[in-house]
Amino acid sequence: MLAVQVVDYGKPWEVVRTMEATEPPSPPAGQLKVKLLAAPIHPADLLLMRGLYGKRPSLPVGMGGEGVASVVDVGEGTDFKRGDRVIIPYGHDTWADHLTISAKRAVKVPAGIDDAQASMAMINPFTARLMLTDFVELAPGEFVIQNAANSGVGRAVIAIAKARGLRTVNVVRRPELIDELKAAGGDVVLVDGQDLPKRVAEATGNAPIRLGFEGVAGEAMRSLTGTVAEGGTLVVYAGMSAQPAVAFPPHLIFRDLTIRGFWLIKWFRSADPRLVAEIQHEMLPLIADGSIKVPVEHIYPLSSAREAISHAARAKGKILFTAS
């Protein structure tokens, strides 16, 4: 079988390889052997390949943080059957033709969710859900604000916030995204700029915004800190511009803002499996009805790893792998 590995740190399309690997044998009791249907390439994957991520594993190393697969063999004592589609549990290198996974931790994909969207059911929706619930206790009707609103996390924030009775202010860098994100449920969609705080205040009727999500860094972060209310919290989960974080000191000093970081991998390290399952089952209906939906630009076989990674580095939509 084929599996994608990183053999060095550097430019992602230069350090990735598709390798021949040993196919897993028939699974033991409580395990499933699965064949990959789809697995996304995330910005975090590209950062890891550059050696700029929060972990730096020994090389060579397998890649891929989530995906969806079809059951091809079952161990004793499981409730799954061949042909079932399952979300691959966290902790597996998903860019491989076949894997062995725990049946207890696998989640069956409901009918009506296609492979592409099912493959992205964990990382971005979990990040959005946990940022919405674990930092500030919000009341229905309150606004949250975010930049990178057209990202996978951003789109999930819009859907989950709406389901919880919250409203969203969504900041983007391209005006052509305004109508798209409004159609996706965004209450306010604005293009970033120096006068962002003034435009946010006008659009929300000066509503106090106590929670914001920062995914861009650089001057975009400076703009966002100017929109968060006194005593509010800004959660930093990404830095898509690859620029240093920027904050205007008066925003922090005179408004007593709190800046926090969030990394899903750290959360998973101590997460109760029952809570993981609970959140997963909360997210799936939103994916099934199209509330959470990420545009897919192209799907590549694992055999085309370099081409896929090169495309992902410049893509506007999501790039996925599928089994070769």
Could you give the CA distance from residue 225 to residue 249 in angstroms, rounded to a whole number?
A: 10
pLDDT band at 89 (very low <50, low <70, confident <90, very high): very high
Both tokens assigned to 43: 């910005």
Q: Which tens digit of pLDDT belongs to each residue from 217-231? A: 999 999 999 999 999
Q: Which tens digit of pLDDT belongs to each residue from 151-174? A: 999 999 999 999 999 999 999 999
- Residue 175's pLDDT is 96
Crossing angle of the two packed helices 152-163 and 273-288, in degrees rounded to 10: 90
Q: In what order do the strands lie in the sheet with 258-261?
A: 188-191, 167-172, 143-146, 211-214, 233-236, 258-261
**Mean pLDDT across 83-94:** 97
| Percentage, residues of the chain above pLDDT 90 | 96
- Residue 107's pLDDT is 95
Q: Which tens digit of pLDDT belongs to each residue from 99-132? A: 999 999 999 999 999 999 999 999 999 999 999 9
Query: Average pLDDT over the chain, rounded to whole?
Result: 96
Both tokens assigned to 95: 């860019």
- Residue 83's pLDDT is 97
Could you give the CA distance from residue 134 to residue 308 in angstroms, rounded to a whole number?
A: 35
CB 124 within 8 A of CB 90: no
Could you give the CA distance from residue 45 to residue 52 in angstroms, rounded to a whole number?
A: 10
Choosing from 53, 90, 237, 300, the catalytic residue is 53
- Residue 248's pLDDT is 87
Beta strands per DSSP E along the chain: 2-6, 16-20, 31-41, 61-62, 68-74, 85-87, 98-102, 107-108, 143-146, 167-172, 188-191, 211-214, 233-236, 258-261, 296-301, 318-322
Q: Which amino acid is at 317?
A: G
Residue 53 is a catalytic residue: yes
Give yes or no for residue 324 having a pLDDT over 90. Answer: no
Domains located in the chain, CATH noted:
2-120+294-322 (3.90.180.10), 127-264 (3.40.50.720)
- Residue 18's pLDDT is 98
Give yes or no for residue 144 having a pLDDT over 90. Answer: yes
- Residue 275's pLDDT is 96
Give yes or no for residue 242 having a pLDDT over 90. Answer: no
Burial string for 274-300 (b: 16+ CB within 10 Å, else e) reads eebeebbeebbebbbeebbbbebeebb
